């Protein structure tokens, strides 16, 4: 029996969809702590020129992220960074800053600068909350990025810029990532950085009388808009020992967004955002 032409075409189309339905599918529930990315790129992928971006080299570029819906947040603007402080976790949801080549050095030393409670928030965390806790007072925006200004240096020691970090992470891989960001800022002239803690649902360990919640992991994302726009992210567990390589924990920004619920660099034009947030290649930096 000869089938009608329209029916034949419909069958062929449904068969094609069935064959391709399983391709390029990712789990949306499994956290990614070590991303699987490739250096191979399609030849048709044309680099995005920075002159396609409306705000060319503008200091007015709003690089601040958007918190996950329903997250408690108090926005604190400092000289060297902006923080979204969470009064429930007693630490920032994120800390964002622009790091220029000029700000990678300076005359201000951290010696003698003390951690201080931030009196702009209610019931502020004190440095004593961390004493004998087994955790360092881990900077999200590091002191070494604030040598250019005494005020910036002092403000980066406010406890609203601090999270509980194991010493092996704080002095090891996390410090290595901070140094890498300064190298990129010197190389390209300017980058944008966002760092913060990651929590899971359920019970959490707390420290101090203010019950500061201990993060299970930390994220850091970096955007460079000089020349060809590019971006990269990391998700690092708060148990990482020394000796690990920076490339072991690379994630795309899309992956970090899925884990944290935070929308990074939402003011980017869609064509640039979709491109840079879906790729993460350490060697391209």
pLDDT for the residue numbered 50: 37
Q: Are 46 and 52 in contact (CB under 8 A)?
A: no
Residue 107 has pLDDT above 80, yes or no: yes
d(CA 263, CA 141): 19
Average pLDDT, the chain: 84
Tens of pLDDT, residues 32-49:
333 332 233 333 343 333
Q: Where are the beta strands (DSSP E) in the chain?
A: 74-77, 82-86, 91-100, 136-139, 162-165, 190-198, 206-207, 212-213, 217-224, 230-237, 250-251
Average pLDDT of span 153-176? 98
- Cα atoms in the 13 Å half-sphere on the side-chain side of 138: 33
Which of these ranges, 19-23, 59-63, 91-95, has the smallest mean pLDDT? 19-23
pLDDT for the residue numbered 24: 36
Which of these ranges, 46-60, 231-245, 263-277, has the smallest mean pLDDT? 46-60
DSSP 25-47: ---SSS--SS----S---TT-PP
- Domain boundaries defined on the chain: 43-284
Tens of pLDDT, residues 239-270:
988 889 999 999 999 999 999 999 999 999 99
Q: Where are the beta strands (DSSP E) in 101-147?
A: 136-139
d(CA 94, CA 160): 10
What is the pTM for the complete model shown? 0.80
Average pLDDT of span 165-179? 97
Interacting residues of 130 by C-beta distance below 8 A, sequence separation 6+:
136, 137, 164, 207, 208, 212
Residue 9 has pLDDT above 70, yes or no: no
d(CA 143, CA 219): 18
251 marked among binding-site residues: no
pLDDT for the residue numbered 203: 79
% of the chain surpassing 90 pLDDT: 74
Q: What is the CATH number of domain 43-284?
A: 3.40.570.10
Annotated active-site positions, please? Answer: 139
d(CA 218, CA 91): 12
């Amino acid at each position: 029996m000869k089938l009608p032409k329209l029916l034949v075409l419909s069958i062929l189309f449904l068969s094609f969809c069935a064959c391709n339905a399983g391709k390029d599918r990712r789990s949306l529930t499994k956290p990614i702590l070590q991303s699987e990315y490739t250096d191979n790129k399609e030849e048709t992928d044309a680099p995005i020129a920075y002159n396609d971006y409306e705000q060319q080299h503008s200091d007015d570029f709003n690089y601040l992220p958007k918190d996950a819906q329903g997250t408690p947040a108090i926005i604190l603007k400092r000289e060297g960074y902006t923080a979204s402080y969470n009064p429930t976790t007693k630490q920032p949801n994120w800390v964002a800053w622009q790091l220029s080549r000029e700000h990678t050095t300076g005359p201000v030393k951290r010696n003698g600068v003390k951690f201080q409670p931030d009196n702009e928030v209610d019931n502020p965390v004190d440095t004593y909350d961390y004493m004998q806790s087994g955790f360092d007072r881990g900077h999200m925006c590091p002191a070494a990025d604030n040598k250019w200004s005494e005020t910036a240096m002092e403000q980066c020691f406010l406890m609203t810029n601090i999270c509980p970090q194991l010493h092996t992470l704080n002095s090891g891989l996390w410090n290595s990532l901070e140094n890498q960001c300064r190298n990129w800022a010197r190389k390209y002239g300017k980058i944008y950085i966002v760092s913060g803690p990651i929590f899971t649902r359920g019970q959490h360990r707390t420290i101090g009388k203010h019950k500061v919640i201990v993060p299970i992991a930390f994220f850091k994302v970096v955007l460079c808009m000089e020349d060809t726009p590019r971006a990269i992210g990391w998700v690092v567990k708060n148990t990482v020992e020394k000796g690990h390589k920076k490339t072991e924990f690379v994630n795309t920004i899309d992956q970090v967004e899925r884990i944290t619920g935070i929308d990074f660099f939402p003011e980017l034009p869609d064509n640039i955002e979709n491109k840079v947030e879906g790729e993460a290649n350490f060697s391209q930096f």
